[in-house]
Amino acid sequence: PQLERLCVHETVDQKIPAEAFAEAFADLDVPVEIVGDDAEFDRTDAVASFRPRESFLDAGWTHCIRAGYDEFDTDAYEAEGVPLTNSTGIHDTTVGEIAVGYMVSLARMLHIYRDHQGDNDWYEPTYERPFTVENERLCVVGLGTLGQGIAKRADALGMDVVGVRRSEEPVDGVSEIYHPDDLHEAIDGARFVAIAVPHTPETEGMFSTEEFDLMRDDAYLVNVARGPIVDEDDLVAALDAGDIAGAGLDVFETEPLPEDNPLWDFEEVIISPHRGSATNRYHLDIADLVTEIFHQYQAGEDLRNRVA
Ligand code: NDP
Ligand code: 7N6
């Protein structure tokens, strides 16, 4: 059946204003409603949500407003024959900018100067500490939307960019592509390692003590993908031991990052609250994508970003 309603689940409010998001569908020829957990669905409903709910399996189509749909039970959607789509394809600029922002700050010490600014302190670092990202090697692990957004910007800054992905498909600005089996070879010698893979059984714990030992002592880790890809206890131990120099982190094993988590206390760790994709027009980017898929559904076409 054709879709007769678009339901915006209230959990979207955790990342984008639900009202503004719903209003962004003014041109859609069906009503748009913000719904809560008491809502019931049938096959004429489309649902756009941040978090999964079992009730969405009664709808005609569910859209996850995140690129990472790891919290959604794809098998259940397959079993019900309900299409599930995700939001990959729209975060190249937003997450690319924040990843490059971490790297430039970690190199030029903006985070340290800002820390000292709080004490009106004209802090002068050691001569050896600052460096330029230009000519430094970056290894981007995962070369999809995020990875390409990071690689393109890093290449523009003159970095020497290599990457890791399963397929060999070349990527603009990336001089060499390694298979995940050769991850160690790929990160060996890199000054920055940026993680941009989805959280899957294969990528969970991809970075632990072994990788941190192998990385340069003056290397920095950037994680804009998902917390569990990095073993956080091992990361803390590696930072404590000086096995790596620092990190820029947008994602964590537990979010919000608990107040007593030791990662807060490292001078050379920059923490952002899973807002790598956040801008004041993020709701419009997602609404454009949902609108496109909505029209594909109504026309009986293949759905962009279908993951189940
Ligand atoms: P894409 O699907 O576009 O890209 C994923 C990339 O990872 C592909 O290049 C894929 O290439 C590669 N990949 C998959 N599995 C492996 C593996 N085992 N080893 C190495 N490479 C692998 O996704 P996005 O770039 O849109 O998003 C990536 C993830 O980033 C999301 O799943 C989400 O968790 C996170 N994210 C975080 C955001 C934030 O706010 N911080 C915002 C958006 C996304 P190939 O198939 O060739 O292996
Ligand atoms: C904000 C979520 C993703 O996977 O976690 C990120 O897209 C961003 C809606």
Residue 274 designated active-site: yes
Tell whether ligand 1 has an atom less than 6 A from the beta carbon of residue 186: no
Ligand 2 centroid distance, CA of 167 (Å): 24
Residue 226 designated active-site: yes
The active-site residue, picked from 19, 71, 202, 255, is 255
pLDDT at 141 over 90: yes
Over residues 111-125, the pLDDT tens digits come to 999 999 999 999 999
The active-site residue, picked from 53, 66, 274, 283, is 274
ipTM of the complex: 0.99
Task: Tell me the three-class secondary structure of 270-303, residue by residue.
Answer: EECCCCCCCCCCHHHHHHHHHHHHHHHHHCCCCC
Ligand 2 centroid distance, CA of 225 (Å): 9
Over residues 172-198, the pLDDT tens digits come to 999 999 999 999 999 999 999 999 999
Q: Which residues pair with 141 in a beta bridge?
A: 164, 195
Q: Which two tokens stand for residue 237?
A: 């131990």
The active-site residue, picked from 211, 226, 232, 283, is 226
Instruction: Estimate to the nearest angstrom the gap between the alpha carbon of 44 and the chain centroid.
Output: 31
What average pLDDT does the segment 62-81 reach?
A: 98
Over residues 13-44, the pLDDT tens digits come to 999 999 999 999 999 999 999 999 999 999 99
Whole-angstrom Cα distance, residue 184 to residue 286?
Answer: 36
Whole-angstrom Cα distance, residue 253 to residue 112?
Answer: 25
Q: Which ligand lies nearest to the CA atom of residue 50 in the structure? A: 2
Q: Would you state the pLDDT for residue 229?
A: 98
Shortest-distance atom of ligand 2 to CA 65: 9
pLDDT at 133 over 90: yes
Q: Would you state the pLDDT for residue 271?
A: 98
Could you tell me which of 55, 56, 48 has the C-alpha nearest to residue 21? 48
Q: Which two tokens stand for residue 169?
A: 């498909």
Ligand 2 centroid distance, CA of 278 (Å): 9
Tell whether ligand 1 has an atom less than 6 A from the beta carbon of residue 180: yes
Tell whether ligand 2 has an atom less than 6 A from the beta carbon of residue 88: no
Residue owning the nearest CA to atom 8 of ligand 2: 66
Ligand 2 centroid distance, CA of 122 (Å): 38
Please indicate, yes or no, whether the overall pTM of this predicted structure exceeds 0.95: yes
Tell whether ligand 1 has an atom less than 6 A from the beta carbon of residue 163: no
Region for residue 140 given its phi and psi (left: phi exceeds 0; alpha: psi -120 to 50; beta: otherwise) = beta
Ligand 2 centroid distance, CA of 146 (Å): 11
Shortest-distance atom of ligand 2 to CA 278: 1
Tell whether ligand 2 has an atom less than 6 A from the beta carbon of residue 15: yes
Strands 176-178, 160-164: parallel, antiparallel or unpaired by DSSP?
Answer: parallel
- Position 168 confidence tier, pLDDT thresholds 50, 70, 90: confident
Over residues 89-110, the pLDDT tens digits come to 999 999 999 999 999 999 999 9
